[in-house]
Amino acid sequence: MKRLARLVALLALLLLASAAFAADAPELHVAAKDRRNPEQTYLTYPEWFLVFSPEEYAALLKTGRSSDFPWFRHVGQFWSGYGKVIDATSKYPYNGEYHTMIVVIGASTTVEYGLKGIYETLFGRLAELTAPPNATAEDRLAAREARDYVDFIRVRPWYEFDFASRLKELWTTTPMGGPHLLRKWERRYLLTTEWGVKAAYGWVLGKATRSTFAVPLETTVAVVQGLPADADRARRLRVLRSEGGTSLVELPRYHAFTGEALALAARGVRFVEIAGNRDNILVSSVMPSSTPDTPGVPVLIRQPILTRPGYERRVLQVPVARLSDVLSEGTRSGHVFEHVFDF
């Protein structure tokens, strides 16, 4: 009995010593100034849908007709996705500023897509009867502009895009004569109206945004484990502090964050905390509709890719601690990760 009592006492001392060591051991966290609210990852989805939608449109224009784009159904997908976001964020404090912004851009897109859908159905289809796809210089200019626009809004707000220069190119370097005159002048009228309105509206919206909202930060801070010693040499990553196998790093936000997260996951780096959050982060992936769901990862939004029959977009709610596993395992399985929605 005495021997057992000594053993128990020794174990108790070891546990106390271990607890004391753990209490003294440093644990890295994102500083308060670099933290963002957990609902941000959800609220950025409607914004990014308005990148995914023009991306579909630009891809369609490579070989197809603009009247084939499902304008009205994309409006439905935007508001349906936003409804899912509202449900998912109901447990968090209401972010009135962000919701206002989403409603504004959603209403603007609804008007734009509604008008374009009506126009393309009634007038665009008639003009298309006189020319094959991309037969006119105006069609080809519109296709280039659509691709340039998508590339731009991945990194900058849409209202900063230079529509005026595209309008100038339309009227100064694009031939006014040539084959398929009806289609040429129908497109010229449409593009002049669209780019002129967007140039003016974008200028006004840019002024209002800069005077109303704070300038967003371009970087985010995360806690990661297993960071290779050379990780900050070739990537857009800056190591702020390291303690043992844990590092505090600065990463780019928005579109660039997706590439950084995929690169880190491929090297076995694990995320612990992103912008002060250890709960869920949203990840979107485009895949065949028949692809099985990722075990243990809830799907928040599931929508068909309307211009690619048989494919769908899945927006996953991934715990931060599992982000690297989901990205690396999905990449090995052939998943195309569209975006990681940082906070």
Last residue of a domain, one of 158, 186, 212: 212
Q: How far is CA 296 from the centre of its chain?
A: 23
Would you say residue 246 has pLDDT above 90? yes
What pLDDT is attached to residue 148? 97
Residues 162, 75 share a domain: yes
What pLDDT is attached to residue 212? 67
Please compute the mean of the pLDDT values over residues 37-51 and round it to a whole number.
97
Q: Which residue range is the domain that position 232 belongs to?
A: 216-341
Maximum Cα–Cα distance across the chain: 106
Identify the residue with better confidence: 19 or 158.
158
Please compute the mean of the pLDDT values over residues 74-95 and round it to a whole number.
97
Residues 86, 203 share a domain: yes
Last residue of a domain, one of 182, 212, 242: 212
Provide the pLDDT confidence category of residue 25 given band limits of 50, 70 and 90.
Answer: very low
* CA-closest candidate to residue 198, choices 312, 109, 313: 109
Would you say residue 193 has pLDDT above 50? yes
Residues 257, 201 share a domain: no
* CA-closest candidate to residue 252, choices 242, 244, 243, 262: 262
User: How far apart are the C-alpha atoms of 112 and 15, rounded to whole Å?
Assistant: 66
Residues 52, 140 share a domain: yes
Strand ranges across the sheet with 299-304: 299-304, 311-319, 280-288, 336-341
Calculate what percentage of the chain has a pLDDT beyond 70.
90
Residues 151, 55 share a domain: yes
Provide the pLDDT confidence category of residue 27 given band limits of 50, 70 and 90.
Answer: confident
Residues 173, 57 share a domain: yes
Residues 253, 131 share a domain: no
Residues 252, 205 share a domain: no
With 0-12 / 13-18 / 19 or more C-beta atoms within 10 angstroms meaning exposed / middle / buried, residue 206 is middle
Calculate what percentage of the chain has a pLDDT beyond 90.
82
Please indicate, yes or no, if residue 4 is contained in any of the structural domains.
no
Last residue of a domain, one of 212, 234, 253: 212
Please compute the mean of the pLDDT values over residues 225-249 and round it to a whole number.
86
| 160-to-157, 203, 205, 223, 256 alpha-carbon distances in Å | 6, 8, 9, 33, 19
User: How far apart are the C-alpha atoms of 324 and 341, rounded to whole Å?
Assistant: 14
CB 202 within 8 A of CB 160: yes
Total domains in the chain come to 2
Q: Where do runs of H (alpha helix) occur along the chain?
A: 2-24, 40-61, 71-88, 96-119, 125-128, 137-153, 163-172, 181-212, 231-234, 255-266, 323-332
Contacts of 83 (CB under 8 A, 6+ apart): none
pTM: 0.86
Please indicate, yes or no, if residue 121 is contained in any of the structural domains.
yes
Range in 4-18, 119-133, 270-284 the model is least confident about: 4-18
